Amino acid sequence: MLPFLFYENRNKYTDLRFLAAASSDGEINGISGFSGKIVAPEIGEVTEGGAVYFQLRDWGTGSIFGSRKNALIKLILKTKEDRSMFRLLCQEGTARRGEFVTPHGVIQTPVFMNVGTAAAIRGGLGAMDLSVLGTQVLLCNTYHLHLRPGDDVVYALGGLREFTRWSGPVLTDSGGFQVFSLAGLRKITEEGVTFASHIDGRRIFMGPEESMRIQSHLASTVAMAFDECIQNPAPYEYTRRSCDRTYRWLVRCKEELDRLNGREDTLNRKQMLFGINQGSTYSDLRVAHMKQIARLDLDGYAVGGLAVGESAEEMYRVLEAVEPFMPADRPRYLMGVGTPVNILESVARGIDFFDCVMPSRNARHGHLFTSRGIINIANQKYRTDPAPVDEACGCPTCRDFSRAYLRHLMKADEMLFFRLAVQHNLYFYNRLAADIRAALEEGRFRSFYAEKREIYGKRI
């Protein structure tokens, strides 16, 4: 009963990754016959489950040799290119410039996704505004849309892209974060979470399967896995058990989404799935969980559970610990982060995708990001100021309107203020991502980062 090797090979542009499952008393002796260069001919550590990973750098046919109790095993491998969607264009240190090909368009990374929680950007912005603002991805919220209007409504109207008339890629979060932060009284079991709606208090159950079904109804480009979000700091032992459960939930998410993508009546049968790394601020738990989820070969990987109470330095430390274990050939998404400086620091640590409500939320309070620092438009000094919010900005607000006019609109509580302010801040964030991409392409990200991080956090 010998076959103890098998391989797993999915869609890579650069690396072919194989998984050889060896029993702990077995060993893998060699690889031969591949047309391509073997990157890691010496086999890595055998994990607890007896799995070994190694990588090859080309497509082809060949074999792997192994032995177990002196019996030689040979496995013939045939590799072929399949659905690989992420391509690294260039790198500077750990900072990455890439391209993510989706059925709804190509996303240039690093990218800042624009948050439209309930299928609109708060501040009165819709699909007609987004392309002008340089938006690449619209992010919508599973929890909110499930409660109102109901994902069955969105499904009946053809999915989120038809419903909102935004034709580009859409990412839906799983609802996990809201279930754990917004919903009242909840009960967590292995099956999922029972909670009370924050709108009318009615009891709702959501587990991995429910989250996938809702996101499949919403027909987003990318669905996020359903995970448990815990506050920082969290006790070590609780975090460890929570990571294990989040892993089991992820396996269920993958199975359910595969099943849904196979159905005739599914709107987007090419819906992709990103897994989410958890583990609070414990580097060892973060790394162990990342290694575990990386083996599921998902379309992308997110780091969740950060920016929820820990310091920025702790967040960067966690990213540095986890980054080496995030698959290099998949997009990496840092959820819910953050300030322009957080984004620069995280790009430097290998992150590709971001989202945050900060540009729209801060705009509504008069805090506007500019190329010279952050301004508070309510300030008396702008009362008669004819200059635009930011002379270096090309957004529709700065093209036409003065600081004095915006300040007046804010003081008069005019709705137009929210629209103009949010437009400017979103444009600033999208532009920041575009500037980061340009700096990476030109090999000057380090100097760009050093210069801008001094400026972007400053209040002026």
Give the interface with Zn ion as residue ranges (CB under 5 A).
393, 395, 397-398, 424
Provide φ and ψ at 98, rounded to 5°.
-140, -175
Sheet containing strand 95-102, strands side by side? 86-92, 95-102, 105-109
We find the least distance from the C-beta atom of residue 421 to Zn ion, in angstroms, to be 9
Six-digit token string for 53:
């990973």
- Nearest distance from C-beta of residue 368 to Zn ion, angstroms: 8
Least Å distance between CB 134 and Zn ion? 11
φ, ψ (nearest 5 deg) of residue 230: -110, 150
Please state, in angstroms and as integers, the Cα–Cα distance from residue 15 to each residue in 56, 57, 329, 377, following that order.
6, 5, 8, 50
Give whichever of 272 and 395 is closer to Zn ion, judged by the CB atom. 395
Q: Please pick, among 173, 299, 329, 390, the residue that the annotation labels catalytic.
A: 173
Q: At which residue do the structure tokens 């055998």 appear? A: 46
Least distance CB 397 / Zn ion (angstroms)? 5
Q: Taking the alpha carbons of 22, 27, 33, 36 in that order, is the dihedral positive or negative?
A: positive
Q: How far is the CB of 295 from Zn ion (least distance, A)?
A: 44
- Residue of 200, 202, 215, 208 lying closest to 143 (CA atoms): 215
Dihedral sign (CA 198, 201, 206, 210): negative
Name, in order, each residue with C-beta under 8 angstroms of 435's C-beta and a sequence gap of 6 or more: 448
Least distance to Zn ion from the beta carbon of 390, Å?
A: 5
Please state the closest distance from residue 431 (CB atom) to Zn ion, in A. 9
Tokens of 279: 């583990």
DSSP 139: E
- Residues 200-225: b if buried by 16+ CB within 10 A, e if exposed: eeeebebbbbbbbbbbbbbbbbbbbb
Find the catalytic residue in 129, 151, 299, 355. 355
- 173 in active site: yes
Q: What are the start-end ranges of the H helices in 233-282?
A: 236-261
Q: Which is nearer to Zn ion, 214 or 375 (CB)?
A: 375
- Non-local (6+) Cβ contacts of 424 within 8 A are 363, 368, 369, 389, 390, 393, 395, 397, 398
Provide, rounded to whole angstroms, the least separation between the CB of residue 423 and Zn ion: 7
The span from the CA of 271 to the CA of 262, in Å, is: 10
C-alpha 55, offset from chain centre: 25
Minimum CB separation of residue 135 from Zn ion in Å reads: 15
Q: Are 99 and 329 within 8 A, CB to CB?
A: no
Q: CB within 8 A of 267, min separation 6: which ones?
A: 155, 158, 159, 216, 217, 219
What one-character DSSP code corresponds to residue 458?
-
Alpha helices by DSSP H, listed for 73-185, are 127-130, 142-147, 151-156, 160-164, 176-181
The alpha carbon of residue 310 and the mean position of all alpha carbons in its chain are separated, in whole angstroms, by 19
Contact 437, 110 (CB under 8 A): yes
In this complex, which beta carbon is closest to Zn ion, that of residue 1 or of residue 128?
Answer: 128
Q: Residues with catalytic annotation?
A: 173, 355
